[in-house]
């Protein structure tokens, strides 16, 4: 899950978004985004799909299974 944490934060920062802005754009809670970025919680499959669609990347990329 370390790769997911890194990629989520990297993608968010590349778009110039705060966690609050990402939350508003995706409907996911800001606190959950913070937990995922810090590796304190693991997102479920639906969340991974939502984030992959938002950032226009594959779920495999977001999970660190491909580059």
Distance separating alpha carbons of residues 26 and 43, to the nearest angstrom: 14
pLDDT attached to residue 1: 76
Q: How far is CA 57 from CA 10, 16, 40, 63, in A?
A: 12, 17, 23, 10
pLDDT attached to residue 4: 96
Domains of the chain: 2-63 (1.10.260.40)
pLDDT attached to residue 53: 98
pLDDT digits (tens, 9 = 90+) for 20-66: 999 999 999 999 999 999 999 999 999 999 999 999 999 999 999 99
pLDDT digits (tens, 9 = 90+) for 1-26: 799 999 999 999 999 999 999 999 99
């Amino acid at each position: 899950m370390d790769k997911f944490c890194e990629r989520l934060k990297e993608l968010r920062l590349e778009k110039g978004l705060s966690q609050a802005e990402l939350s508003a754009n995706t409907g996911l809670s800001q606190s959950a985004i913070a937990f995922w970025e810090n590796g304190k919680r693991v997102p479920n499959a639906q969340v991974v799909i939502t984030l992959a669609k938002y950032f226009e990347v594959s779920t495999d990329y977001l999970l660190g299974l491909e580059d």
